[in-house]
């Protein structure tokens, strides 16, 4: 009884800000002048250009996720092996930038990467030649990874620090070396953290549009840019809505797949961020 009472504001909030807007999206995607239409769906699926943008977005998001995992896992591992107090202070440094808005952090990178920016100033003082970093594919990836890295580190760190030390000691006692212990014991036990990390990086990475515009100068546009362009610049609500739904379906599929993977691993340790 009490539980339902306290969840009422949340349910009302969800209906107003999640369900109703979704209905609007579905309405403008399938209804034109009061009639049901599949025109926008056909257009979205039959234009090769839109498909290739989608594929490019998936590839970029996958690369960004892989980079986050490659950087994030070792960091989380090192953190989890530190003294609790040191680890707490260090993980603060990863959380601290998240107190600032994501767009502001992206704008800050503009200042760093600009031709006459901080990075080039540093390079010239050190005697290196100036480089051109802004508006490149590399810059887009760098800022994407920077923005989403904490979402990879934190869930993995949480899981790793919860692993019972006696498992590792037992592995050592039974003669496993460090590498064996890591691959046979630590890594499998940390899978739930890796799965939530991947989900939490992949989804924002595939739906982002601000980074490719602000850092990529729209030379490497993603699916999010296409949706924004269709709705805001061309005023084509129908097509924009269909494109949004396609992206939504893709996100749902990836969440389901990730959950399946997690379930197959059998996570007795439990406690992911989802």
Partner 1 sequence: MKNKIMRTVCVLLVAMLVVASLALSGCTKAKETLYILNWGDYIDPQLIKDFETEYGVKVQYDTMANNEEMLIKLESSTSIYDLCFPSDYIIEKLVQKDMLHELNKENIPNIANIDEQFLDLSFDPGNKYSVPYMWGTVGILYNTTMVDEPVDSWSILWDEKYSGQIYMYDSMRDTIGITLKYLGYSMNTRSEQEVAEARDALIQQKPLIKAYLGDTVKDAMIGGEGALAVVYSGDAVWCVDEEEGNPDLAYAVPNEGSNLWFDNAIIPKSSKNPELAEKFINFLNRPEVAKQNSEYIGYSTPNKAALALMDEYWTQNEIYNPPQEVIDRCEIFRDLGDFTSVFSDAWDAIIY
Interacting residues toward partner 1 by CB under 8 A? 47, 49-50, 52-53, 114-116, 132, 134-135, 213-214, 216-219, 221, 225-226, 229, 232-237
What's the CA gap between 150 and 152, in Å, rounded? 5
Please check whether residue 69 is in contact with residue 152, taking contact to mean a CB–CB distance below 8 angstroms. yes
Total number of residues shown for the chain: 274
**Closer CB to partner 1, residue 134 or residue 171?**
134
Distances (CA, A) of 145 to 31, 65, 67, 71, 259: 38, 8, 7, 9, 23
Smallest gap from residue 128 Cβ to partner 1 (A): 19
Candidates 112, 102, 141; CA nearest to 220 is: 141
Say which residues have a Cβ less than 8 Å from residue 114's Cβ, sequence separation at least 6.
Answer: 120, 133, 134
Smallest gap from residue 159 Cβ to partner 1 (A): 32
Distances (CA, A) of 170 to 166, 181, 186: 6, 9, 12
Smallest gap from residue 117 Cβ to partner 1 (A): 9
**Closer CB to partner 1, residue 19 or residue 232?**
232
Smallest gap from residue 49 Cβ to partner 1 (A): 6
Candidates 106, 77, 113; CA nearest to 197 is: 77
**Closer CB to partner 1, residue 232 or residue 249?**
232
**Closer CB to partner 1, residue 48 or residue 175?**
48
**Closer CB to partner 1, residue 17 or residue 24?**
24
Say which residues have a Cβ less than 8 Å from residue 237's Cβ, sequence separation at least 6.
Answer: 28, 231
**Closer CB to partner 1, residue 94 or residue 220?**
220
What's the CA gap between 141 and 143, in Å, rounded? 6
Smallest gap from residue 259 Cβ to partner 1 (A): 32
Smallest gap from residue 156 Cβ to partner 1 (A): 35
């Amino acid at each position: 009884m009490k539980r339902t009472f306290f969840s009422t504001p949340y349910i009302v909030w969800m209906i107003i800000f999640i369900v109703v807007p979704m209905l609007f999206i579905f309405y403008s995607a399938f209804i034109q002048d009061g009639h049901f239409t599949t025109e926008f769906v056909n257009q979205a699926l039959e234009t090769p250009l839109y498909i290739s943008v989608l594929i490019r977005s998936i590839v970029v998001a996958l690369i960004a996720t892989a980079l986050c995992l490659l950087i994030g896992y070792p960091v989380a591992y090192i953190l989890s092996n530190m003294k609790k107090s040191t680890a707490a202070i260090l993980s603060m440094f990863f959380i601290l930038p998240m107190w600032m808005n994501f767009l502001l952090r992206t704008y800050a990178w503009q200042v760093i990467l600009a031709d006459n920016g901080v990075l080039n100033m540093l390079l010239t003082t050190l005697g290196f030649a100036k480089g051109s970093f802004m508006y490149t594919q590399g810059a887009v990836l760098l800022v994407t990874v920077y923005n989403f890295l904490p979402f990879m580190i934190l869930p993995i760190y949480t899981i790793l620090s919860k692993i019972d030390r006696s498992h590792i000691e037992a592995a050592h006692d039974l003669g496993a070396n460090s590498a064996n212990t890591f691959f046979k014991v630590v890594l499998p036990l940390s899978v739930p953290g890796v799965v939530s990390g991947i989900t939490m990086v992949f989804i924002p990475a595939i739906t982002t549009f601000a980074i490719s515009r602000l850092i990529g100068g729209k030379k490497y546009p993603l699916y999010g840019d296409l949706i924004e362009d269709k709705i805001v610049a061309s005023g084509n609500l129908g097509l924009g809505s269909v494109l949004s739904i396609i992206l939504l379906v893709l996100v749902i599929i990836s969440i389901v797949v990730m959950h399946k993977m997690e379930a197959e691993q059998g996570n007795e340790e439990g406690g992911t961020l989802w």
